[in-house]
Amino acid sequence: MRLLLADDDEILRCMLVHHLTQAGHSVDEAVDGADALTKIETGNHDAVICDWEMPNLDGPDLCRAIRAGRHGRNLYVIMLTGRDTMLAQAEGYDAGADAFLTKPCDTTDLLAALRTAQSITGMPQRKAS
């Protein structure tokens, strides 16, 4: 799958990119929500993994923008955050997230969420090039 990973934490992004590419995914990176939205509009992504708290455009606002835009309505969005309350989950889903994982996130859980995305959307698995 072609993924967009949006997180302002460079170390976390680097770690996740490593694990996701090892699992056969192609990963583009965004440093914040505004950067992610630009890349969604110009890219061809199957799914977005985004942090909640980012500068310029936070995760929930990014989800709302994705759902409102013409390029991202069908993107599968995984919200990755340190917020672990039921209220936060409800807010994330209301904003348009399809899945909600709390940090620190076990990569096994993230890969399982991506398999679910493939199953639900019918996306083919594309190997990283």
- Asked whether residue 57 is assigned to any structural domain, the reply reads yes
> How large is the angle between the packed helices 86-95 and 59-68, nearest 10 degrees?
30
- Asked whether residue 65 is assigned to any structural domain, the reply reads yes
CB atoms within 10 A of CB 10: 10
**Residue that has been written with the tokens 């980012």 in this structure:** 54
What residues of the chain score a pLDDT lower than 50?
127-129
In this structure, what CATH number is given to the domain that contains residue 58?
3.40.50.2300
Question: How many whole angstroms separate alpha carbon 50 and alpha carbon 66?
Answer: 12
For the chain, the domain total comes to: 1
Look at residue 129 in the predicted model and tell me its pLDDT: 42
Question: How many whole angstroms separate alpha carbon 37 and alpha carbon 9?
Answer: 17
Look at residue 69 in the predicted model and tell me its pLDDT: 82
- Asked whether residue 127 is assigned to any structural domain, the reply reads no
Phi, psi (5° rounding) for residue 100? Answer: -140, 115
For 39-71, the pLDDT digits (tens) are 998 878 999 999 999 999 999 999 999 999 876
Give 25-82 as a DSSP string: -EEEEESSHHHHHHHHHHS--SEEEEESS-SSS-HHHHHHHHHHSTTTTT-EEEEEES
Please classify residue 44 by burial: count the beta carbons closer than 10 Å to its beta carbon, then call 0-12 exposed, 13-18 middle and 19+ buried.
exposed
- Asked whether residue 77 is assigned to any structural domain, the reply reads yes
- Asked whether residue 129 is assigned to any structural domain, the reply reads no
- Asked whether residue 126 is assigned to any structural domain, the reply reads no
For residue 43, what are the domain limits?
A: 2-120
- Asked whether residue 109 is assigned to any structural domain, the reply reads yes
